[in-house]
Structure 1
């Protein structure tokens, strides 16, 4: 180790990676950002995480926490600081099969979770890719393939093992530290390092899975029909709609639909309205085991191979203006990748004050992403016409958090409570996100 960093604490020997270590290229980056941290720590337990936090504070190093996987926002690395990479903390187990309570460590990825729970006939709805890490989603929100049936991941977190910035290890549940549990369910990134979760899973083995491709009219009628269909759809149906530029000013929509049923007749009935969303150019439908949606084939090293910046917003209504703006953003000279995920259903059940994720009336999550070469300008100019239609935002898809975005993540009294609790649990701001002005 570099003399600047000094000696390694005994409990971290063999778990510290610096730029001269052959492991460094594998652990320095996220999926979207190539980082240059001074040190990466690979803890194997909550006490190791506590030691890593002390190590960072003693050397005045900025801290980033990485729960293992995809992380489109890229916040799991930094330049010149310390990264706590939880990948080794990836155990998944069933605590109580009768109540469907499972324990998942924060460094697991959703492919690993799905594989571990499948033999028990259980699943957790979160993430749309097997490489997505548990910790970031389970502290930020959690929009998965069965979100309208299951709700958000944070809605089913019953307890969290948390390492506070000062190294204190706590269990947060309804009886012990309920305030800490509240803030960890939606605003955990600035409050503590989650190392394990107890989560209520759902009974599930197989699902209906369909994809269809449809043309998109410039006025956005296709998007409005999709939104109307989802507003009246049964909770069993969750969808993602991705706008794909054709390079000639036109756009196609790729819709992925998941039905939480293994009965063909039910799946057909639930899917039927979707095939009227527009001029369908292609379609497929199957019954598949849930783990196929978050496949272990997705697991890979994250080396900054997909440089991108993202932003997002939540729509309550797909108005004509919003639909037109989204189509234009995806079809312009420098198009954004626009991805929309249906909400509603079970996501509306909790009271807004129940968790730090307070967005309980919006119906669509809209994500905009831009890619090189003109990443910042493309995202800024492409998103500007869309932004006025948005009603709140989701922290996990924001590459450049600011004071303004914080107010959209955590509106009104929710934001006041989040800040108060973050100051209580991390008074020196060691783990607070560092938004720009």
Structure 2
């Protein structure tokens, strides 16, 4: 097979000399600034003249922002596979998915033995490498909850907890030359990484044939295996005409046959000369990419990812996979793909979608929506956060995943104007804004995605001082049901702008938000844990203190039932929006009288530290059933019902969030969110096995409630729509639905039926 159709990857193969470590790092940084993709380094741990490669890789990843890094190739005999897997995954997570695993059986066995490694014959090295690849991938496979156990000829893993899970599917690239290693590459690896000088051009054809045959015998498509090539003895000269020695145009002529005739899609130059690296990146790379794209179009070369027969067998019958648009082919995740376990669930809910489309820009969203509509299945839109309600995943449908649309821009720091992609998470937003002295209230958890919260409300730690998140939205960009891309604000489609702020999931897919942030840096952050055995009394006292507190105070309370003979506990979080320590102390101190204090702490911290993103894995590990409501005040009657609820054993948590203050300043007619008199949001949650009992307990509280926050509600009974959108809001929303989504394409996010 000539061209395997992989996207080009161009980079460097740098000598990790210990004599000038700063220059080594500078060459890697130059690789990035020259718009190349990857920097790789030799790995010879027995060589005292070289830096330790994995320490170097970590340092380079920290000094760059987009550059991929890899050993070229890792010396396996001196790096036990279980710990190598953990180191590789850690570096991948820390770098945001920029690590690849070049791997070798281990050259120079005497040198390996000299530093305490096990000297293996060539045949033993291949066998050990095969065992190691299985162990490495087993460590990365966190979809399995059981410990990793392995007993082989060369490696033993008695019982290892799996993880961490890499940030992306790390490629395992083998440095291989002889038939046995080439067959292992074809049957097991993700890439083949030889050096051109060690394998003559005629031998490339034979080596590819061995790899391809082994892949097919293993039930794989040969196109699954990327072909990478190290290139030494390269340079630029106006007079020399040797291979990769002339001017950039000759380089393109020399490299193009390696792509089209021998299937290589990655070239790594082993030249520590900054001028050569810069010229390779700035002159050769763009010309080569253009030439390859031109030839591929002319020849009809397939460039979409390929899948093996095993992967294809896991496709679901609900959709036609063959009609996925070409522009999306590299951005979809199918049930058999390794990435599937990472994207099938939300944080809170499990799901088994037939396809996940990871959109990277608005055009992707348009194409994804058109394809999804053609399949007549459930369409879930996910911004990349929790999905507490469960509606951002599904069974047998399509997820349009916006998590890669995660840009965060400060357009005007002085005015506080910001622009945020729907796939960003609020903890990251807070971190970026902090560097400009700005803040934006979101929720209590930085792992929550922007899109879901910013179309539904946003009751956060700064709500009583600054209002809801949606109160600060000035414009949105959206793809509506018929595929049009619109800018929506107070001047453009103002009715739709009204509806998007509170019921946004019903009208389209928001692809960007513009908001007005505000000047805020440090806040006083306090937590108080109290014995809430007298639950009703604790609730009434806390509620009264919140309503009487200055606007700078916002507070959340979480009630937890007694466990193992303990007591009901209340975890109270208090945030004072400002850095006036004395004023904060005066405002926070009364809350120590809410109940018997078990523990307390208070500190002045940057706001972003209160919502730092924990980067949780989204594996459906949350509580699966929750109910949401609002209270004007926490009355004795309501508090007694809640006391019975938390002591019933049917509820795992009851949480309250304070509103009031600035939330009440916005007129209820200003947007679809019209809850402008209530002082508290309340939710109760439990495991799915307790759903019936939770519903019965909630039914006792329901008559006392006034409103509902739909993002916390898993019951989609249409009768609850009036709780979320009291009249006249619901009638107006139904009219908007009839105008913008009459066929109810967006029906997963507490569907509003169109007016007929």
- Shared topology, TM-score over 0.5? yes
Kindly indicate whether the alpha-carbon contact (under 8 Å) linking 1:148 and 1:344 is maintained by their aligned counterparts in 2.
yes
1:152 maps to which of 454, 468, 471: 468
SS of the aligned residue for 2:418 comes to strand
Separation in structure 2 between the aligned mates of residue 18 and residue 330 of structure 1, nearest angstrom? 42
Q: CA RMSD in A?
A: 1.6
Matched, 1:404 2:714: no
Within the candidate set 320, 323, 345, 1:29 is matched to: 345
Q: Which residue of 1 aligns with 2:293?
A: none
C-alpha distance after superposition, 1:142-180 (max 9, x if no partner) = 111111111111111000011101111100011111111
Partner of 2:730: 415
TM-score, normalised via structure 2 length: 0.56
Q: Is the 8 A contact 1:250 1:331 kept in 2?
A: no
Q: Quick one: structure 1 residues 212 and 312, their matched pair in 2 at CA, closer, same or farther if it must change by over 3 Å?
A: same
The CA deviation at 1:7 is: 2.7
Q: Which residue of 2 aligns with 1:230?
A: 546
Shift of residue 434, structure 1, vs aligned partner: 7.0
Q: Is this contact kept in 2: 1:218–1:328, CA < 8 A? A: no
Query: Greater strand percent: which structure?
Result: 1
Asked if 1:84 is matched to 2:400, the reply is: yes
- 2:710 corresponds to 1:388: no
| Alpha-carbon spacing, 1:242–1:219, altered in 2? closer, same or farther (3 Å) | closer
Stretches of structure 2 lacking an aligned partner (at least 5 in a row): 1-311
Distance 1:210 1:55, change over 3 A: same
Match of 1:257 in 2: 574
Correspondence for 1:367? 683
The match for 2:604 among 275, 280, 287 is 287
1:270 paired residue number:
587
Quote how far apart the aligned CAs of 1:249 are.
8.4
Q: What is the CA-CA distance between 1:382 and the residue it aligns to?
A: 2.3
The residue number in structure 2 matching 1:96 is: 412
Q: Deviations over 1:76-118 (max 9, x none)?
A: 1011111011000000011112210100000000111011111
Q: Name the counterpart of 1:173.
A: 489
Q: Compare relative contact order (CA 8 Å, sep 6+) and give the higher one, 1 or 2.
A: 1
Partner of 1:425: 740
Q: 2:321 matched to 1:5?
A: yes
Moved more, 189-198 or 10-19: 10-19
TM-score by length of 1: 0.96
State the aligned residue count: 435
Mapped partners of 2:455, 2:465: distance in 1:
20
Checking the alignment, whether the CA contact within 8 Å between 1:251 and 1:327 is kept in structure 2 is no
Q: Give the Cα–Cα distance (whole angstroms) in 1 for the partners of residues 616 and 749 of structure 2.
A: 28
Match of 2:536 among 216, 220, 237: 220
Counterpart mapping for 1:343-358 below 5 A: 343-358=659-674
Matched residue SS, 2:737: helix
Deviation at 1:433, TM superposition (A): 3.2
- Check conservation: 2:506, 2:749, Cα contact below 8 A: no
Q: CA deviation at 1:220?
A: 0.7
Where does 1:264-343 land on structure 2 (aligned, <5 Å)? Answer: 264-296=581-613, 298-343=614-659
4+ long deviations beyond 4 Å: 434-437
> How far apart are 1:16 and its partner, in Å?
0.9
1:281 is displaced (CA, Å) by 2.1
